[in-house]
Every structure is written in structure tokens, then in C-alpha cells.
Amino acid sequence: MDPSAVISLLLVGLARAMILFIVSAGLTFVLGVLRVPNVAHGSLYMIGAFVAFTIATAFGQSSAGFWFALILAPLVVAAVALIIERGLLSHLYQREHLMLILFTFGLMLILNDLVKLIWGAEYRSVTPPEILDGAVTLFGFNIPRYSLFLLFVGPLVAVGLWFLSNKTRLGKIARAASVDREMVGVLGINVSWVFAAAFVIGCALAGLGGALVAPTTSISLGMDLTIIIESFLIVIIGGLGNTWGALIGSILFGVSQSLGLLFFPQFAIAFPYAVVVIVLLLRPRGLLRSAW
């Protein structure tokens, strides 16, 4: 097999993994701090993509439109998340997990119908900015510039999350609250607002993922379903609530898919799922330490 083909597929697989990482990092963050399995996470990702489309269209699908969309779409999703958390979710933390899953599942259905009401059922598309349009030739293979951009953004988000949870007061409190929320409350810290902040950050990552994926795909209803299944799998194999686990899980998922394509194209669909099964057989609690 051509080694340059392997390298180029490794690169595009990693680029795909970066979007999966950004979305599943948000999911795992919420899962770790709030203990809420947010089934509506995929819907927020979809809203991020649709909002990115609306903003990009407002700027005539220009390069500037894309950059504004990339910044504003996560903020819009964050605002939606804040309303959901303060208005609904914050009253439900004492309930058992099944109730929380039911609640977020209901939320998913509502959000999906709202997307259909607002944007309709047609497919939408966002034009990538000029600087990221087209492909560059590396090792004799065409790699989309946008994939290289994703390879740059992914690690940036990973470092940002690491900084947030290890170097800031909010992050430290959030980590402490995920271990023992009552004790943190006893120390005089307003846990309620820490949870709100964690939920908003997690959801904003879904929005960012949606905005980032917008130029590479057709934005349509149902795009939430694929991503929510994949990110739950990634979160599970990475270890619940573990951001680094999400990173490793995403890379395993993305790279196994792209390399599987090179060697066994007819079985490519099953490849990432086979990896998930193998990981869970060997390490049923996930690759890295779970926060639960």
C-alpha cells in the first residue's frame, strides 16, 4: 500500500476526529460536572450549524460571514443553553438519571421541531472562506484546506479546555463539584451557577462543532442523530466525563474509519463500531478514568 495514501488518510481522519472531539468534549464535560446525559446535545450541534448558515447568508456567504458565524453561532447556542439550564434543568438535578434522560430526550424532540419550523426542511450549505477553499497537494494527494484548518482548531480547543478545568477557579470548582457537590456547597460556593456555567460551556462546544462542520457538509434535519450516537460512543470508550478520554476516543473513531476505508472499503461502515466493541470488551469502563 502506498505510504503517502496512508498519511493523507490519517490526516483527513484526524480532521474528522477533531469535530467529533469538540462535540463529544462538550457532552462529556456536562456529563462529568452535572451528571446529566444530555441527549439534546446533538440538537444543539444542529442549531449551531443552522445559525451559522443564517449568519453566513446575512453576509452574503462571504469569507467574513463565515468567521462571524464561527464566533456568533456558539454564542447563540450558549444563550439557548442558558435559558434551558436556568429555566428547566436547574430544577431537575435532584431527580434520578432516568428522569434526566427523559427530560433531555423530550428537549431534543422539541428543539428538532423548532429547527424545522424556523429553517424548514430544505438542505442548507455554508461556503468556506476563500483562504480555506479548495485543496492543497500533500504527498501527491489532495487534502482540503479546510481539513488542515480543523487539525489546527481541534488542539486549540483541547488546550483551552485543559486550561479552563485546571487553571481557572471555575474549572477547579466544577471538578470539585463533580466529585462532591454537597461539600462544595457547604464551603459557601454557589454550586447552582457553577453548574449553569458548565452546562453553557458544554453546549457552546456543540454549537462550535456545528458551526465548524457547516462548510463541509449539507446542513439538514437529522444531522443531530448521527453525531449524538457517535459522540455518546466516544464518551463511553473514552471514560465518562473525561475530556482527554473524549480526545482519544474521537481519534480512534475518526482514524479507524479513514484507515479502514483504505484497506477494507466495503466494510468501512462497521469499522469504527468494531473498534468501540473491542475497547469495551477490553476496558468496560472506558480507556481513561471515569469521573463517575
Per DSSP, the three-state class of 142 is: strand
Q: Should residue 147 be labelled a site residue for another protein when binding is judged by CB under 8 A?
A: yes
What is the smallest separation between the CB atom of 141 and another protein, expressed in angstroms?
A: 7
How far apart are the C-alpha atoms of 28 and 92, rounded to whole Å?
19
In the bound state with another protein, the residue whose beta carbon lies nearer, of 13 and 32, is 13
Q: Should residue 204 be labelled a site residue for another protein when binding is judged by CB under 8 A?
A: no
Q: Should residue 282 be labelled a site residue for another protein when binding is judged by CB under 8 A?
A: no
How far apart are the C-alpha atoms of 230 and 17, rounded to whole Å?
11
Q: Should residue 83 be labelled a site residue for another protein when binding is judged by CB under 8 A?
A: yes
Q: Which of 94, 96, 122, 167 touches another protein (CB under 8 A)?
A: 122
Select from 62-70, 111-119, 171-179, 274-282 the region that touches another protein (CB under 8 A). 111-119
Q: Should residue 199 be labelled a site residue for another protein when binding is judged by CB under 8 A?
A: no
The residue type found at 114 is: L
How far apart are the C-alpha atoms of 97 and 82, rounded to whole Å?
21
Number of residues that bind another protein (CB under 8 A): 61
| 164 to 193: interface string for another protein, x by CB under 8 A | ------------------------------
Write down the residue that cell numbers 505510504 correspond to.
Answer: 3
Cell of 42: 446533538
Cβ atoms of residues 245 and 288 within 8 Å: yes
In the bound state with another protein, the residue whose beta carbon lies nearer, of 173 and 211, is 211
In the bound state with another protein, the residue whose beta carbon lies nearer, of 49 and 177, is 49
Select from 160-168, 189-197, 214-222, 241-249 the region that touches another protein (CB under 8 A). 214-222
Which ranges of the chain would DSSP assign to H, the alpha helix?
A: 3-34, 41-58, 63-87, 97-119, 145-167, 169-179, 181-186, 191-213, 223-238, 243-263, 271-282
Q: Should residue 266 be labelled a site residue for another protein when binding is judged by CB under 8 A?
A: yes
